[in-house]
Structure 1
Amino acid sequence: MTDLRTETLQAFSAVYGGAAASLWSAPGRVNLIGEHTDYNEGFVFPFAIDRRTFAAIAPRTDGMARVASSFADEALEIPLADLAPERLSGWSAYPLGVAWALRETTRGRAAETGFDLFIHSDVPVGAGLSSSAAIESAVAVALDDLWDAGLDRRTLARVGQLAENKAVGAPTGIMDQSASLLGEADAGVFLDCRTLDAEVIPLGFDAADLVLLVMDTGVSHSHATGGYSARRASCEAGAKALGVEALRDLGVEDLARAREALDDETFRRVRHVVTEDQRVLDTVRTLRESGPLAIGDLLDASHRSMRDDFEISVPELDLAVETALSAGALGARMTGGGFGGAAIALTPRDLVSRVEFAVDGAFLEHGYTAPTTFPVRASEGARREQ
């Protein structure tokens, strides 16, 4: 982590010819359980991970916003006054979208100045670990400080979501930014996506000698493309047909009525969200009452629901999950928006190598590109580094 801090500051100086005024970071996240429930005003339970995005920043006096990063060749600049979603594209839509969204949120109350910004990260892109929210959250806390906006973490999460929805064009909920901004060590963020009430829940993975293993399939996905949008539209149609504001307002006891009222596909989309909300509540309760060794079945049921009802898994994700379970993982599921990305496996520490070896072998046998596997720990959320 020290190297990433140093690399970010050195790169900032190389690009802009001067020292950064401050350095901020925010983590990616893994969603332990609660997939596609966030935009249905339901419950999610992610945690911040020990992979981070760094944002070095310094003020300018000419009203220009300049952004550069270690993952793009060009630096981009735009007058703050010209920031608008329709003028932003590519990777810079994430940081510049946050600047726009922060201006929209404060509406002139912040001491807006131009800035130079450099971004560096070790959060894998496209793995379902929310590299995008890590960028948004790091930039949000950096600009909040630079502009003396004084926004709390929950408001900054909404700023990041607004940037992703409007500037990037991805119709995501608020889970990712909330995890990145509110996370704590060895704890998850239990979030009510309707009220935005968040509670930090101890996971107890360290004491139980458990590791959460990420298995990145390498299958690329994009939330701004059709699959995610189509699922969201199905959920909205189901809620409307059933006369509720959002699927959050339905319980498992309402599924019989839903089956009668909806076509098969819409019903299955609804059933996933309703049962997934219940699984989040059950996971939090189980952690409190029985500890982390008892949540494996809930993770497994979540994957089956995403595979069969929401239909967002892919063969590589299914293979990773099935193989990890066969090799000794306590529970496993795909994580993230779906159509690629990563799966996670809650694994006893002494079986991690065995699970990794088995998954690598299974992918080789099926002719798939070898996955990238690595453990993650629940870590602190966005913070000032310097």
Structure 2
Amino acid sequence: MSVHQLAQVPAMTIGAGARKQIGDLAASLVAPGSPVLLVADPGLAATGMTAELESLLVAAGFPVIVFSDIKSDPTIAQADAAAKVARSSGAKLMVALGGGSALDLGKAVAVIAGADAPAETYALCAAPLPAGRLKIICMPTTSGTGSETTRTAILSAPEGAKLWFWGDELKADHAILDPELTVSLPAQLTAATGIDALVHAVEAATNRNAHAGNDLYAHEAIRLVALHLETAVKDPTNLVAREGVQRAAALAGTAIDNCGTAIAHAIGHAMASLRPMHHGRAVGVAMLASLPWVVSNDPDGRFAACAVAMGAEPTAQGFIDAYGDLVRRTGLRIAVSDDFTGITPEALAAQMVRPENAPMIRSTVRESSPADLLAIAQAVLALR
């Protein structure tokens, strides 16, 4: 019997209206009057969320500097720009408000601001992360990446490659899960982010690193997505469903923090490095295309256990059927041929084995040959 470890989970405040405790939580982490860097998704300004959070912090006695120069798939350059703001303002606390892009950027900035080196210095663990980071509070407005519970951040290089940053320094001190922050998320994004959480949980429960201790998080995340995602998509103001999917994302983030992901993420990152594509949709369709190959045998019954968590027939095929059915019921756009016009299967397969994606290929439960990866790339591009 092998020995496993479970990483520390950030402290969490959960429930409708939880965001209103931000002042007290900030005061528990930094000295009164400390400057706060608020890294906020630019689209949230129109909803009033950014202004509300800024007001709550100011009312608690904290001067706030807002950084909103963020795009989907945040870049190394944006991280460097935000870190410069953090240093010049003397910020002691970073609060990230938004989806995975804002949370990943904010966490990276909180860490790299402790030194003068550019962000790319630390990509792919090329150098140890600097000491003396800012305190971190994450407030997700989507329910997908689970960045609020992970020690990972993803930033895009100038050529589009998705570079990962990893280390305990990147883990939030506190996560606030307020389902009211997710109500304005459109149906397509609710579906894509929810499927992202599901893929996280499934890959963490089935890859080479998977173990029974981590299944506590992964299987519960799978159960919650299966139970609540379709309702959250079709009835966006249903706070029970919204909170269920939000908790699923945080648990799935914890699951990948312990055991990592697998081939669907290698494919999804490869796709997004070739053409702009939402991460949740990318990994969702990648899993749909690659599952028949991955699950060609299930000797340990791990995919069957995922099927049980979904309330499906307790077999590997039962999971494949249940996953495909849920993806389609959420309305996730599956066909990618229009998005990838001019991209050959060979080009996609080549991206899948780049250094930033290769670890996810290696962690996949089934060994892959170049011919296997080409066949999977063909299956992805042929999805209908």
TM-score, normalised by the number of residues in structure 2: 0.28
Report which of the two structures shows the higher radius of gyration computed on alpha carbons. Answer: 1
Of Structure 1 and Structure 2, the greater strand share is in: 1
TM-score scaled by structure 1?
0.28
* Higher fraction of helix: 2
Q: Relative contact order (C-alpha < 8 Å, sep 6+): which is higher?
A: 1
